[in-house]
Structure 1
Amino acid sequence: MSLGIWDKVKQGLGIEKAGEGDTAGGVASAKLRAFFGHLAKAGGNLPAETAEFIRTGENPSLLLTVAGTAVQQQWNSRHRSYPRKDKAGLFKDVGLWQPGQLKRYGEVLAALEPITYDWGYYGTKKSPDWLRHAVTNWLGDDRKDQPLGLLHAVSEAGGAGLPAVLDVLFCRDAASYGTNTSVGRFSGVAELLEEQRDEVVAIQGGLAADVRAELVSTIGRLGLHRHYLPLLLDSAVGSSKKVRTAARQALTGADKADLQALIEERLTSAAPGQRAELVDVIAGTLDAAAPALLEKIREGETSAKVLAALDRSTGATTSAIAVDENRQPDGEEGFTAVDGSWIAAPPTEPIPQSTPIGPEVMAVLKPAMEEFNRIYREARQSDAAKQKWHWTKHSAEVSAGDLEKLRKLAEGSGSAQHQRKPLAWMTSSLLRHPAVEAFLDHPDITLYHLMRLSVASSNSNFISLFSEWSGPVGAAVQRRVAKGADLRTIAALWLEHGGSDFLHEHLTRNWYWALPELEAPLWPYVLQRIELLDEALGLVPQSGQNAMRAMIGLDLLAGMPALPERYRPRLMILANDSSSRVRDAARNLLRDTPGIGGSIALQLEDGRQDTRALAADWLARRGDRDQAPAIRQALKKDKSDVARAAMISALERMGEDVSEYFDHAAMVKEAKAGIAKAKTKGLEWFPFDQLPALKWADGSDVDPVLPRWWVLLAVKLKQPGGNALMELWLDRLAPGDAHRLGWMVLTGWIDEDTRTPTDEEANAFAMAHVDTRLQQNIDYAKRWPQSADYWPTDRGIVFARLKSDHAGIYLSSTADSKGMLALTTHVNGADAAQRVRAYLKDHGGRVSQAKALLEALAANSSSAALQVVLVASNRTKQKSVQALAGSLIEAIADRNGWTAALLADRTIPHGGFEADGTLDLECGDNRRYTARLDESDAVVLFNADGKEVKSLPGPRVDEEKPAVDAAKKALSNARKEVKQVITAQAERLQEAMCLQRHWLREDWESFILGHPIVGRLATRLVWQGLDADGNEGETFRPMGDGSFTDRDDGDVDIAGFAEIRLAHSSLLDADVIAAWRQHLTDYAIKPPFDQFGRELPELTKQMVSARDIMDREGWMIETFKLRGTAGKLGYQRGPAQDGGWFLTYEKTYRDAGLIVEIEFTGSPLPEENRPAALQSLGFRKLKGQGVGGSYGGKVALGDVPPVLLAECWRDLHDIADKGTGFDAEWNKKAYV
């Protein structure tokens, strides 16, 4: 019998019959004694005894000795490192190890250190601890290409066999974070899989799902389809989604004819569930052969489950455009879009070659070199230089010879990796000299030179070149890109000179990390690497050890100018993925794809209610009104509450008449049926018995069973922003009843969510724990006296802290029942706004609940509610909450064809006041009262005789009670809204001034000046007109009587202005500013914010291209004073970084797409008052809605709106003035 490749491998290693008796030779005893030397402290001879046991197997009772608690504790007290280091050199020559010895070595380690967690070890819990220990130490020092035969022999020696080998091979690499298999650690994997096929197939079912997924991926990657086609197909229709996904991607590389034949064979005997899965496999793997085979299956199929799968697959196997077999292939020249058009990539430019850098160019760097040498000499003389790790210890003064090395690096060829030394001085954070930028921007420094320096300076991290910490070289690359440099050229040079394959790295990243702003389209480069996108989206088998991420591929696809037709079939499959992120991303990409409405409508017949509901929602989002009949047909037989709600909502969103679905008797019948099967777990707190009695708009009673069912169904649907079905229910209630129902739900939900211990409970807790905590603090203070302030030893202080901490604990969470907020969308806007605003302020850290409340407010049609969402989109601390608020505002604006700013203008609450500033309140016959705003913007009440009164009267007779109650409610609402509007709109107008927003004159007159509350603010501000060409006109102030005055009390006719904006001192001459200051003083006008009073810094020409303002670097201020001053100016704490420190205060200007950052030396969380130093002011792009990396790159100061720049710069100076001024030793004092 001839030997197979795998047998020859084992025979060559001399281990084909290895077992327990291999006592001759092996690893050196001295090395083993050294490795276990730490055991000497537990027993003097233990290292030698352990080494002898491992080498010979003698004295097996040693395992009991080393498993003792004292020995284990001693062993675990040793110094350990991750990844493992083979300091004793045990595995320097792995060929010395006999399988039995390696097994016993693992047994000793398992006895000393039982594995209690998976992190850091190869294999899973399905493998024995001894094998996992042995392999983990063997593969230390990043060893690769190790003999797989030895692993197999060791596993067999210990009775674990091939299952453990596969478990180790296809489990994640314990020493390489993010690497999903250990295949790269061993040689001979392909041979093993070929030779041991039958055994692999027989045992793979016992492996963990993650391991099986990597096994089938590797089979596909190694092209072993012929050997494993039945296994791959079985895995593709199995129970594990992860395994199914991996197997289906692997099958894309199989021979199509062989695969089709096997599928047809399986179809003849498969159960309906298996046949349905096979339909999905056909749609995703057989390409052109799929439509005919699917049609053949449909002809004789009777199973509803299989027919539903066929319906789902239709969109993936049919195209709305005629496919030309001779069309130009997709690739670097362009692609065919879903509408059949050809999208051409921009023409490429020649890749630059190396050119000499003249001495005059290198001379540009000399001033920077001299400055660095000065900094170096001063640092050498400082006390800090005595520290062991001071930067001067591994640096030196720069000489002409160093400049020559820099020139050679830039002009050179080959890899520039690991050559950072020649430019280390130039990229030092201590050096900020304009000569560096001038050198890098010099015309003779080409992209060739710049990319070589980039590879050398960035540690081969391409993404870092476009970050704010990129240093001067990265900043120079960013400037080249902004001026039109082609990313394809940059990427080609990057790879040519040793840079890593950043696109591949990005697609295989284990965590989501959005690409930075690149200032240039990336899609032409993605087309050059289209094979990577194919793999990420599952069109071809996995090519490397790490799977590419479909979600990241979808993000890249979203950057294309149109959707490529090649990805339409795959997206139709992903559009039904169980992951909402993947599903929503795929559907968004397909939103404009023609001819898929019918395919989506087929899913309305699917056996799964979620699929039917999602299909209805998808059709509504696309506006596919042609599919309304299909939805109605599905509704006739659908019994699912979730699916019916989605379908009726979809019809209403399409503009269809849905009144037929609101028959009262039918609704009661459905409600009773729904309540009978509803689950109320988690709703024990909700007072169902206290739901208000409701009436329909026609005056008839609402059956009490309906509101009870609405609450239960709303919780089940989990849509706090409501849906069209619930809106229709609420719309049909009598006036005021929807508010009463919603108010009970809103207040009850918030009260339950914010429930905390009573004062008595907090006192009892503190009393029960104060003595233990006090003793603990005393012990800690003694142990770490340098940090004694952290642990108070005063009993009163400890008690107070315990009480305060316990009193702040939330006893409940209503996050899981957030869906009931769908019933709050008709609550009076001012009331809802007040409650939600207070929640965001006091409990905004409860992110899920805050988001749910904002969704409910966004669905409220009142201006007061929308204003809260608008403010949250700019001024909420939690970035994900802020991002959601921004997306909600954009969605509302988009529906109306407005910008967010126009939406804000049109939704300013007016408190019920008429344009003349009055609010009439009827309290019965001949009892009319009028509310007006006084000079301080307070609501003042007058009776019919014009006399000021403090309150409205009570009813004289019962018939007057409804009118009096309505008047009191209107007056209360007016007072709430006036207070809210004055504050919010003053902030918004100030922001508009900073952003230099222009209003069309007609809009300004209608929505600003004509607003009964905001118009009062407008009369206290100075405005400027512009003509149709944008030329600046006169400045003026509204007088409140319909006239307008200039600074000299002359009349101004605004009819000639096309646009109007707020005036600002940075836009006006000094004499105009002085005149307006005097005017405001003479008329005793108190503006809501300062337009002319602040002395503002000016941007110099040299600073236009800079990205940071550094003129207050080193100005000291205590962190609490910084927090208070920044907070008063509207700034919020920035995100926490590694270690729990935050380093910035920020303010968001969403309309400008900018975030202002004031950077300082940082403060830990929880905060404590400590010295800090200001560092810089910068402006960052607000990237999308804050998903993933919510911030884009920093913006050049010259690109920031001048008024915004000036005001924020002044903020920086005002904050600095509250501190103690500049301190030359700020770097020491701020980091104490």
Structure 2
Amino acid sequence: MPKDQRSRAAAETIAVSEQMLAGLTDVLGEDKTPELPPLHRFPETSAEPARRRIREIITGLADGTDPYDASFRPVPPSDHLPPAYLRQEKACAQFDEDLLDALIRVADGSDETPALDPGWYTIVVDILSRGCHELSFIHLARIVRVILRGDLVNLPHALDRLVSYRVRHEEVNSEPRVLDDALHRSGFDEETVNSFIASLAMHSWPWDPADLWPWLIERPEVLETWLIGEGIDSWLMVPERALHVLTYCPHVPNRLLPLLAEKATGDSLVQRRLARQILATTPAALYLACAQLGLRTSDRRLVAVDWLSSMGDQRAVPVLREALDEERNHFVRAAEIKLLQASGEDIGAFLSPRVLTDEAREGLRGSWPKHLDWLDPAALPAARWADGTVVEPKVLAWWVTLADTMKDPDGSGLMALYLDRLDPDDAAELGRHVIDRWIEHDTRRRSTEKNRELAEISGLLTYKDWQRRAESLTPADTGCYAEEIREQAARPQQSFIDEYFRNYERSYLGSAITNKGLLALTVAMPGDELARTVQTYMSEHRQRRTQFVALLSALAANGRPGSVDLLMAIARHHSMPTVQKAAGELAGRFAEHHGWTADELADRIIPTAGLADDGLLHLDYGPRQFHGSLTAKGRLRLSGPDLKPIRSLPGPEAGDDPELVAAAKEQLSASRRELTSVMSRQPARLHEAMCLGRVWPAEAWRQSLAAHPLMRLLLARLVMAGEPRDAPAEGLPAHCRRQPRGRRRRTAHPGSRVPHRAGPRHRPRRRGRRGMASSPGGARRGTAVRPAERAGDAGRRTAGHPHGRSVRPRQ
């Protein structure tokens, strides 16, 4: 969003919030200043003990003695200081006992203003502040005020140096109220003190937010300036700092609520989170969020719906319904409908076949978009509603044009709501048709004959051009450019033709990235099928980075195990860093939405290859039943109705259901693909978990891994160490006794100690180099050696053998 547009949206948000709060005086109550913690004032002391030390330093300077020692070194002066401030000779010549008496009186708070030479600036700020500890910060600040005599330009610099120098000896900056009090007692006015402390907090940030809020809460105008951030460098992140401070404040002033509402619906994710956290402690949060639904900016309305979703307050339902009747933006409308659905409300009235059909007729009044002429609307697959009635072709055509208009491959919003109203198979078929046509349009190439023809023309022209350049050279031309001309002219004509032909063969006629919104219609496809389509595209067209990112968004929106598994795999590794980063961000958002970490997400979406909880793949022919089971090597073994092994599924016989036979064969092919994927990816994840020392809660380990029909085979090749919740993992003979079911699990590290009672069969066999053994995936990696529970048997201790066998420990 452009800057001026953001400013207008922010101003509108603040105005709407102020209007809303004007009628909430009964809800907000009286605006009370929160109780502040006690202020520990800086003590007032006499400057008389510093008399001797000041005399020594000034006398030494006059005699040419270096005042610096090992305790402090000279600091280079600031470039903007006037030259008079840097000359110490006149100041030293001015020094006598009368002036020393005057300095002591000024340091003790006298109102007199002796005529001090500007050279005293560096003496006081740089030397006395560090070499005369008998002078306190207040003493020094009083002297500096007299020296500068209204020089407001260099005053902040002097005070900043005093604060930084005295921090080792005094608690003058323990919190800003202490510094504020010290500066007021030094004779500085309110405006100067507030300006200096605000600038100090803004730029160097010497205080913890928990210590800064008592000073800021008494100056809401400073907080307002920080929250608005206008005229302040963005790299300072001042609005974020102000929000961090307010999170520690027991009560937020009512005058700040409109600004907080603007931050809660702004562009910055960090500011949104902090502002919502602060507003959650006030009774106005729900009213402010509901007020944003009437803003003119659709982005703000969409964020307001997300804010209401995070609250989960049923009181927002009537406001949502009213806003939905007026809403015309498809993104916002979808978010509002999904929020109503999450609130337990009936959304059928907004998504009934009649409503969607009328909407399609209204939307398709014009002609088919020219930029979609490659996607024939008449070729879209027929579809049925979930109740079995036929869907008008215009409905699907309207959804296609709508998805293209929205330009967002993430179909988890409006498209997911629409497709959910269709028969699941028909919704999947629509997504399948659209992505196939999209890939065809994106990967169009010329024919080989056409590429050969173009290559011959281009190669001949290039060959003649180099020959012409070579003929224009003279023997005196010896530069690198001349050498390149001679080298290219010596090439045969066919080499240019072959080079052009290779380039033309790799080139595309166009791109479908401008129509990436169509990928939103794949949200209802089977996850493994969509993942297979995307993976094939990425392997055959390796340079289509922008298309890869769009397809990743479609995978994340699909949300089914096969799609998310591929997304996680790409997030872990991809040759293009930008693609890997995009996959990681999408996977993180998916996990955050479900309240999982990335590793927990990866555990939860491991495909099962169609195997049921009993570990069998059930293939139904109707009267005949076939089964698939896993071998010890992780392959699929088929057995017939008589339980005898077979190599492949037979053809249909009399009495078999042809549709069931076709479905069984398709399921077998899909299961084999998923099985290959899991057995190639998951051992690497387990090895990574061992290296990083990952620990699973026992229940999560049992549900996601031990009970998984494929993962329990891999776990049988590992050693899983059980850790009691209330006992240290090391130093106790935990392997000698049973542990409670509630303990945690982890893959044991190769450095783990083998129990003294373990016999030779408990120890990993050596392979190759010393200390290395076969890993779960068969590679030469360090292997777990600690006893643990057998997968699926949480109450019994076993040691997993690194070569795939489980050995019961001796009793």
Give the TM interval when normalised to the shorter protein: 0.5 to 0.7
Deviations 1:825-877 (A, max 9, x none): 22111111222334455667655543332332223342222222222333245
Cross-structure match for 1:538: 228
Cross-structure match for 2:192: none
Q: Determine the C-alpha separation between the residues in 1 that align with 2:69 and 2:447.
A: 73
Task: Tell me the SS of whatever aligns to 1:930.
Answer: strand
Deviations 1:999-1034 (A, max 9, x none): 234433443233221222222223333333454489
How far has the Cα of 1:930 moved from its partner? 1.6
Is the alpha carbon distance of 1:951 and 1:767 closer, same or farther for their aligned partners in structure 2, counting shifts above 3 Å?
same
Q: Residue 462 of structure 2: which of 766, 769, 772 is its match?
A: 772
Cross-structure match for 1:996: 693
Q: Residue 648 of structure 1: which of 337, 340, 343 is its match?
A: 337
8 A Cα contact 1:952 1:968, kept in partner: yes
Q: Determine the C-alpha separation between the residues in 1 that align with 2:478 and 2:269.
A: 49
Q: Determine the C-alpha separation between the residues in 2 that align with 1:865 and 1:882.
A: 15
How far has the Cα of 1:659 moved from its partner? 1.6
Does 2:659 align with 1:985?
A: no
In the alignment, residue 1064 of structure 1 is paired with which amino acid?
Answer: H
Is the alpha carbon distance of 1:576 and 1:933 closer, same or farther for their aligned partners in structure 2, counting shifts above 3 Å?
closer
8 A Cα contact 1:695 1:734, kept in partner: yes
Q: Determine the C-alpha separation between the residues in 1 that align with 2:732 and 2:428.
A: 46
The aligned runs of 1:218-297 (5 Å cut-off) are 280=11
8 A Cα contact 1:933 1:940, kept in partner: yes
Is the alpha carbon distance of 1:672 and 1:523 closer, same or farther for their aligned partners in structure 2, counting shifts above 3 Å?
farther
Q: Determine the C-alpha separation between the residues in 2 that align with 1:764 and 1:551.
A: 60
Deviations 1:257-288 (A, max 9, x none): xxxxxxxxxxxxxxxxxxxx9x958x86xxxx
Deviations 1:195-253 (A, max 9, x none): xxxxxxxxxxxxxxxxxxxxxxxxxxxxxxxxxxxxxxxxxxxxx9867988x9xxxxx
Q: Residue 860 of structure 1: which of 549, 555, 558 is its match?
A: 558
8 A Cα contact 1:316 1:572, kept in partner: no
Q: Determine the C-alpha separation between the residues in 2 that align with 1:766 and 1:346.
A: 84
How far has the Cα of 1:741 moved from its partner? 1.4
TM-score (norm 1): 0.44
Task: Tell me the SS of whatever aligns to 1:736.
Answer: helix
In the alignment, residue 1015 of structure 1 is paired with which amino acid?
Answer: R
Q: Residue 76 of structure 2: which of 415, 432, 447 is its match?
A: 415
TM-score (norm 2): 0.64
Does 2:415 align with 1:710?
A: no
The aligned runs of 1:964-975 (5 Å cut-off) are 964-975=661-672
Cross-structure match for 1:701: 390
Is the alpha carbon distance of 1:414 and 1:816 closer, same or farther for their aligned partners in structure 2, counting shifts above 3 Å?
same
Does 2:606 align with 1:908?
A: yes
Q: Residue 379 of structure 2: which of 677, 682, 690 is its match?
A: 690
Unaligned runs of 5+ in 2: 44-65, 80-129, 132-172, 180-195, 785-811
Q: Determine the C-alpha separation between the residues in 2 that align with 1:793 and 1:522.
A: 73
Cross-structure match for 1:822: 520
Q: Determine the C-alpha separation between the residues in 2 that align with 1:767 and 1:554.
A: 63
Q: Determine the C-alpha separation between the residues in 1 that align with 2:222 and 2:6.
A: 17
In the alignment, residue 728 of structure 1 is paired with which amino acid?
Answer: L
In the alignment, residue 746 of structure 2 is paired with which amino acid?
Answer: R
Cross-structure match for 1:951: 648
Is the alpha carbon distance of 1:697 and 1:243 closer, same or farther for their aligned partners in structure 2, counting shifts above 3 Å?
closer
Whose RCO is larger (CA < 8 A, sep 6+)? 2
Deviations 1:368-419 (A, max 9, x none): xxxxxxxxxxxxxxxxxxxxxxxxxxxxxxxxxxxxx9x969822443779x
The aligned runs of 1:446-485 (5 Å cut-off) are none
The aligned runs of 1:40-79 (5 Å cut-off) are none
Cross-structure match for 1:748: 437
Q: Determine the C-alpha separation between the residues in 1 that align with 2:489 and 2:206.
A: 53
636-645 or 859-868, which deviates more: 636-645
Cross-structure match for 1:314: 20
In the alignment, residue 565 of structure 2 is paired with which amino acid?
Answer: Q
Task: Tell me the SS of whatever aligns to 1:920.
Answer: strand
Cross-structure match for 2:182: none
How far has the Cα of 1:608 moved from its partner? 6.2
Task: Tell me the SS of whatever aligns to 1:925.
Answer: coil
In the alignment, residue 419 of structure 2 is paired with which amino acid?
Answer: L
Task: Tell me the SS of whatever aligns to 1:411.
Answer: coil
The aligned runs of 1:199-218 (5 Å cut-off) are none
Task: Tell me the SS of whatever aligns to 1:984.
Answer: helix
In the alignment, residue 462 of structure 2 is paired with which amino acid?
Answer: T
Q: Determine the C-alpha separation between the residues in 1 that align with 2:242 and 2:487.
A: 51
Does 2:259 align with 1:570?
A: yes
RMSD: 5.5
Q: Residue 731 of structure 1: which of 416, 420, 440 is its match?
A: 420
Deviations 1:606-632 (A, max 9, x none): 566666555444433443431211221
How far has the Cα of 1:975 moved from its partner? 1.0
In the alignment, residue 1019 of structure 1 is paired with which amino acid?
Answer: A
Q: Determine the C-alpha separation between the residues in 2 that align with 1:343 and 1:984.
A: 57
Cross-structure match for 2:568: 870
How far has the Cα of 1:708 moved from its partner? 1.5
Is the alpha carbon distance of 1:527 and 1:904 closer, same or farther for their aligned partners in structure 2, counting shifts above 3 Å?
farther
Cross-structure match for 1:1066: 751
How far has the Cα of 1:605 moved from its partner? 4.4
The aligned runs of 1:1169-1188 (5 Å cut-off) are none
In the alignment, residue 234 of structure 2 is paired with which amino acid?
Answer: R
Cross-structure match for 1:925: 623
8 A Cα contact 1:591 1:622, kept in partner: no
Task: Tell me the SS of whatever aligns to 1:932.
Answer: strand
Task: Tell me the SS of whatever aligns to 2:423.
Answer: coil
8 A Cα contact 1:603 1:615, kept in partner: yes
Cross-structure match for 1:140: none
Cross-structure match for 1:1099: none
8 A Cα contact 2:201 2:207, kept in partner: no
How far has the Cα of 1:322 moved from its partner? 4.9
Is the alpha carbon distance of 1:871 and 1:417 closer, same or farther for their aligned partners in structure 2, counting shifts above 3 Å?
farther
Q: Determine the C-alpha separation between the residues in 2 that align with 1:741 and 1:645.
A: 20
Unaligned runs of 5+ in 1: 1-239, 249-276, 285-308, 329-341, 351-404, 419-447, 450-485, 493-500, 509-514, 1037-1045, 1096-1232
Q: Determine the C-alpha separation between the residues in 1 that align with 2:647 and 2:489.
A: 52
Cross-structure match for 1:627: 316
How far has the Cα of 1:923 moved from its partner? 1.6
Does 2:714 align with 1:1008?
A: no
8 A Cα contact 1:993 1:1063, kept in partner: yes
Q: Determine the C-alpha separation between the residues in 1 that align with 2:759 and 2:222.
A: 60
Q: Determine the C-alpha separation between the residues in 2 that align with 1:348 and 1:689.
A: 82
Is the alpha carbon distance of 1:725 and 1:527 closer, same or farther for their aligned partners in structure 2, counting shifts above 3 Å?
same
How far has the Cα of 1:694 moved from its partner? 1.1
Q: Percent identity?
A: 28
How far has the Cα of 1:675 moved from its partner? 1.9
Q: Report how many aligned residue pairs link the two structures.
A: 637
Task: Tell me the SS of whatever aligns to 1:819.
Answer: helix
8 A Cα contact 2:213 2:248, kept in partner: no
Q: Determine the C-alpha separation between the residues in 2 that align with 1:1063 and 1:786.
A: 64
Q: Determine the C-alpha separation between the residues in 1 that align with 2:304 and 2:718.
A: 52
How far has the Cα of 1:671 moved from its partner? 1.0
8 A Cα contact 1:1026 1:1059, kept in partner: yes
Cross-structure match for 2:139: none
599-608 or 966-975, which deviates more: 599-608
